[in-house]
Each structure stands twice: as structure tokens, then as C-alpha cells.
Amino acid sequence: MHCDKIKELISDYCEGKIAPAMLVPLENHLAQCEACRREVQEMKEVWNILDNAPVAAPPPSLRTQVWNKIDAESEEIRKRPQPSLSDQLRNLFRRPAVIWSGVALLLVLLAGVTIPGKFMPAGFPTPLTFIHMFHSHNANPLTVKIEGITRNTNGGETSYYLNVQAINSGSMDIPMTFSLNQQGMFLSGNQYVAPAKRDFSFRIPISLAENQNRISVIISWNTNKKSIRQTTSLPVPLN
């Protein structure tokens, strides 16, 4: 442990508040470093003097003196002549930061004026821009597409898989719930998550009733404080 670190811990060491994990390396250092031992001893002596020093009571008139001083300064400020409005504005615009802020504001205001030619007018957003911003803020960041059902036959056993693609353009993962309208069941659960800012494909194993030739898949999720429900009707492959 270096001397610089020891100096940071001396105060806690003298108070007895040092962490136990730091006590052993600190005392090992003090046993080898005379300069740090001397600094610890000097601090202990100073604290001992302060602990034994008599407490001086303030004079009874201290509170009155302080408030009289405050009242006198307040009265002096009140009697000072106040600058006129024009002087205040003149002093304000002497500051470079305020001047440049005014120039920037003027440029923003003038940018809304249409200039003839091929340039598009700039400036404050138009009503259509506000509508687009509002729509973008409230838009659903998740797009879910049911790509179909896959049928696999192996050793006389038939398996079905629901193929789903999810595109989440938002900044948060979105949980989704699947259901089959009592036409079948999900073999690995019906809760899935669309990862944030990713395209993700699901291959979900399902069990279907016999002779089922068509099913309806219902997907629901919550986004932007809205509940969304999407239903897709799919044919069941027969071979």
C-alpha cells in the first residue's frame, strides 16, 4: 500500500472507523514507514488537543448583532437607485452569450420564410410534421408475420411447427402471447419475447386436432400503453 493511499485513510484510522479489510495492510505499512507513522501521531495529538479544548460559549448578544448586520445590508440594498428598464436591457445585451443566443433565434425565425428557387423552406415544423412526429411516437414498433405451418413426418409420427417472424424496431423487448382458438395447443408454451432492435424467427412446435385443415393463430402484445391483437388464418399442410 502506497503512502498516498495511507494519507487518505489516516482520518478514518484515527477515528476507528476504517474498514476491517484495510486495517491489516495499513498497519503493516505504518510498521515500515516512519513518515506515515509520524503523520498519524501528529493527527492523533491534534485531535486530542481539540477534544480537551474548552467549549467557548457565544456572547448573548451574538444573535442580535448578526440580525442587525443583515437588516443594515438589506436596507442599504433597498436604498440603492434601481436601473431603468432600458439600462437593464442595455446591460443584458452587452453579454456575448446573450447576443449570440438572439442571433441564433433570429436565424431560426427567418428560416421559416420561403425562398424562391429549388430550396425547401425550413424553420418551425409544419402541422404535417407534428402529425408525423405524433404518429411515430405512438406507432407500434413490432411487426409479426406468420409464415405458415411446417409438417414433419418421422417414423410414422407427424409433427407440426408454427413459423413466425418478428421485427422489433423499438428499444425494449416485447413479450408476445400466442393462442390457437382451441384448435390445438403449444407444446413448448405460448409465451415468447421479440428482442429489441432485432429481426427474430420462431419455430414453435404445436399439436393439432385430427383432420384439422385450417387454424386461426391469435397473437397479442402490449406496446406504447396499447394492447394489440393480431389474428391470422392458416391452412394446415396435409402432406
pLDDT digits (tens, 9 = 90+) for 201-223: 888 888 887 777 888 888 888 87
CA distances from 6 to 10, 21, 42 (A): 6, 14, 14
pTM assigned to the model: 0.41
Provide the percentage of residues in the chain whose pLDDT is more than 90: 0
**Domains in the chain: how many in total?**
2
Distance CA 162, CA 120 (A): 49
- Whether 128 is in a domain gets the answer no
Q: Which of 63, 62, 43, 45 is nearest to 53 (CA)?
A: 45
* pLDDT number for residue 98: 53
**Joined grid coordinates for residue 224:** 406504447
Q: Is residue 134 part of a domain?
A: no
Please tell me the predicted confidence (pLDDT) of residue 130.
45
Residues in the chain: 239
pLDDT for 227 equals: 87
212 CB contacts (<8 Å, ≥6 apart)?
183, 184, 236
Q: Domain for residue 178, yes or no?
A: yes
Query: Is 140 a residue whose pLDDT tops 60?
Result: yes
Whether residue 163 lies inside any domain: the answer is yes
Check residue 100 and give its pLDDT. 59
Range of the domain at 11: 3-50
Using the structure block, give the residue that is written with the C-alpha cell 431603468.
84
Note whether residue 148 is domain-resident: yes
Residue 114 is predicted with a pLDDT of 44
pLDDT, position 214 = 85
- Residue 40 burial by Cβ neighbours in a 10 Å radius (0-12, 13-18, 19+): buried
Residue 204: inside a domain: yes
Q: Which of 44-48, 75-79, 114-118 has the lowest mean pLDDT?
A: 114-118
pLDDT of residue 118 exceeding 50, the answer is no
Q: Is the pLDDT of residue 46 over 70?
A: yes
Checking if the pLDDT of 107 tops 70, the result is no
pLDDT band at 74 (very low <50, low <70, confident <90, very high): confident
- Whether residue 230 is contained in a domain is answered as yes
User: Domain containing 193 — which CATH number?
Assistant: 2.60.40.10
The mean pLDDT of 124-134, rounded to a whole number, is: 47
Residue 126 lies in a domain: no
Q: Which of the two residues, 129 and 191, has the higher pLDDT score?
A: 191
